[in-house]
Copies of this chain bind each other. A is one copy, B any other.
């Protein structure tokens, strides 16, 4: 099979041995595989792949068809269209995934959309609902709302009855994020638009002091992205007076059972909205697998709405 491979800090598309499904796993003929921030970190040598996945093939999500079932795998039949998150190895023509982390592709989605769904919707759903406990009527602020996780978060929060405010750095993208259901405000002085019950922090530490000012009593700040910086000062007296919570999370390093639980949560709460068209998967641009270096450059450049996705057709 052909696979995107990291070799000496460079991306190359090379021929690799086909992987084989172990017990409970299926082999997927990959149709589309989205890019995520973690892929860039891995390329730059700052985010090694966890044990048990190809160390040098990036790709945390895929969509495609089941071509072979490993021993004891029974959830899907050969030919089924599936999508899901992976610890790595998704950016290739073939990949193995445990059947418990895979989901059926909803009918309305193109391969490119399906290949850009799992990682960002799972991340957004886990952060907003499982971690922060967002409920209908609450006010949510999403920082960095034009990206993959941001566009997912805005939509599923709206679909769950939350009131959503968003910051978007690139002025050209603000109308599009607004069209997804958020009130878009300027990144400067965002705390004047609160108070918020939940803040989804996809930008980083520089926002934290204002996030603390912007939350309401019992407010929750969930940190998922720290691209703009990891370290800052925190005033615990503010957190105490607000009875607030600061939480941070990643998906990739979680064990199988936790990833499977997130897949069940997305099946229950997100797939119906994707199937009805209430929630969409914005894809900024697709690239053929062979053009992976160009796709990574486009991803790193930012200023896009939604996902960059590699396709194999």
Query: B230 contacts A236, CB within 8 Å?
Result: yes
Q: State A224–B226 Cα separation when bound (angstroms).
A: 27
From B235, B241, B245, B250, A250 is in contact (CB under 8 Å) with B241
Q: Please give me the residue from chain B that is nearest to A205 by CB atom.
A: B236
The interface residues of chain B lying within 8 Å CB-to-CB of A233 are 231-234
Q: Given A230-B235, A234-B232, A235-B230, answer yes or no on A244-B240 (Cβ-Cβ < 8 Å).
A: no
Set of chain B residues within 8 Å of A253, measured between Cβ atoms: 241
Q: Provide the main secondary structure of the chain A interface.
A: mixed
A294 lies within 8 A of chain B by Cβ: no
Expressed in whole angstroms, the Cα–Cα distance for A204 and B235 within the complex equals 11
CA distance A282 to B258 in the complex (A): 42
Number of interface residues of A (CB under 8 A): 28
- Copies of this protein chain in the complex: 2
Contacting residues of chain A (216-274) with chain B, CB-CB under 8 angstroms: 223-224, 226, 230-237, 239-250, 253-254
Chain A residues 1-51 with CB under 8 Å of chain B are none
Q: Shortest CB–CB separation between residue A205 and chain B, in angstroms? A: 5
Residues A246 and B243 in contact in the complex (CB < 8 Å), given A204-B236, A233-B232, A234-B233? no
Closest to A249 in B: B243
Contact A223 B247 (CB under 8 A): no
CA distance A9 to B233 in the complex (A): 32
The 0/1 profile, CB within 8 Å of B marked 1, for residues 41-73 of chain A is 000000000000000000000000000000000
Please tell me which one of the listed residues B230, B239, B247 contacts residue A244 in the complex, with CB atoms under 8 A apart. Answer: B247
Q: Which residues of B have CB within 8 Å of A237?
A: 226, 230-231
Contacts of A208 in B (CB 8 A): 234, 236
In the complex, which residues of chain B have a beta carbon less than 8 angstroms from the beta carbon of A234? 205, 208, 231-234
Q: Contact residues of A with B, CB < 8 Å?
A: 204-205, 208, 223-224, 226, 230-237, 239-250, 253-254
Beyond contacts A223-B236, A239-B247, A240-B250: 8 other A-B pairs, Cβ-Cβ < 8 A, are A231-B233, A231-B236, A231-B237, A232-B236, A239-B248, A243-B254, A244-B247, A246-B246
Kindly list the 7 A-B residue pairs having the minimum CB-CB distance in the complex, ordered from nearest: A230-B237, A240-B248, A239-B248, A246-B246, A245-B247, A234-B234, A243-B249
